[in-house]
With several copies, the nearest count.
Chain A
């Protein structure tokens, strides 16, 4: 177990959270977006099983350097494939990873819109 990109981005452009420790899995994704709409940095924190940690790490690696639109196309199946398959009862973890990333992107977008609105209003 040697996950990459573990950690937090202090001044993240978007933060996505998903899951609940009560169910056994919880993930936080942090993204930094550059001027070309590319994810220049992706970091995560995960509470969960080995698969959840591996999935988080894989998602962060897959997303880094991609544009936002490309990153939104990272699917559960793609993640599981890249990891060489996951046992059946761990497949939901790959969903969680992709969803947490997408949530972070959502968060970035809504902040963008809020910012634009703010700009217009101001």
Chain B
């Protein structure tokens, strides 16, 4: 059976150069970077080299990079760490409604602990407006966090404009670049942000590694207290192999960024163009053009996402969905609902995330296998039934 992996937003394979670079650090170069002997020296040098690669992907100073265990830890460190460090100045945080749970839930935890949080909405394409952020600001606002781009719907945010707003008010601005790093050019100074999170595992590096870039001078309370690793900003023995793998992955992503993005975008565009022709009552979600090069996201009306995932898996295709049934929390996507997609329609969401291993033929395969699956599930669906009986045929996607 053909295998077509189109779920790179959930996981990417580790690029061979990265796993090869990691191998010695899982073997004889097993030292602890804090150790004062040859084993320690080798590990320390490897971590510092990786730090340079990661910094270089962001045009940042290596001394400003804090390695973490992933995107979630980077976001939690930023949100909680900046908020607590500036608590004397104020108590209010502004984020968007479509942030990843690692930002959203971190902010909600802060809310329980006495902070106030404003969640700014988005338009139908999932765009956060700089004016909306500006309006949400208060004299006691100490932190703004808006992501570079949303992975579920692909929409790229006007982060530079929001940064200008933040700067004008002297408020720290964090951005979650987990879904974007390696796919969009990122220069922390050009962006004008103060802190930025990335993860290794969406970048063809290993899971278990990530990084938070924090501008010199921005105060941060550590999330992981412990030793003096990472300049005293993140305790714990460094995940040396993970960090080394992330470094190589970041270097390759940086070297290859434009070409990668181009290839991914061409497959994305093919699917976005053809799928709506092959399946009726299907809609693109997110911004029509200003979106991540790897992201093609849709809603398929009258059916639910998990069923599609299971049947697609049976024919070798891996994708994901934001439906309630596919989430362990049994809640529909907060992102789609923020975009105004009705809950029933959001249940039929499908996310295709392209990767370096995909070929244009993978799009053909999806176009071949998905329409009959949708048809079959619609035949089972009481909703489609009703729709047809109520004189279906016209598009009912917008209710």
Binding site for B on A (CB under 8 A): 1, 3, 6, 8, 17, 20-28, 45-53, 89
Contacts and interface: CB of A to CB of B under 8 A. Distances in A.
Interface stretch (B27-35, B132-140, B256-264, B307-315): B307-315
A50 B385 contact: no
Interface residues of B, number: 25
Given A21-B347, A24-B323, A89-B328, A50 B310 contact: yes
B344 A21 contact: yes
B347 A6 contact: no
Contacts of B239: none
Contacts of B330: 24, 89
B325 A48 contact: yes
B392 interface: no
Given A24-B330, A45-B380, 6 more contacts: A21-B347, A22-B343, A22-B344, A22-B347, A47-B380, A49-B304
Contact of A24 (B314, B328, B332): B332
A3 B330 CA distance: 23
Nearest to B328: A89
Question: Top 4 closest A-B pairs, CB basis?
Answer: A49-B325, A24-B324, A21-B344, A49-B306
B306 A50 contact: yes
Interface of B: 302-304, 306-307, 310-311, 314, 323-326, 328, 330, 332, 342-344, 347, 379-383, 385
A34 to B, nearest CB: 25
The prevalent SS among residues of A at the interface is: mixed
A6 B380 contact: yes
A27 B381 CA distance: 8
Contacts of B326: 49
A106 B326 CA distance: 32
A22 B332 CA distance: 9
Contacts of B380: 3, 6, 45-47, 53
A45 B385 contact: yes
Given A24-B330, A26-B382, A53-B380, A48 B344 contact: no
Nearest to A27: B382
Nearest to B343: A22
B71 to A, nearest CB: 24
B313 to A, nearest CB: 10
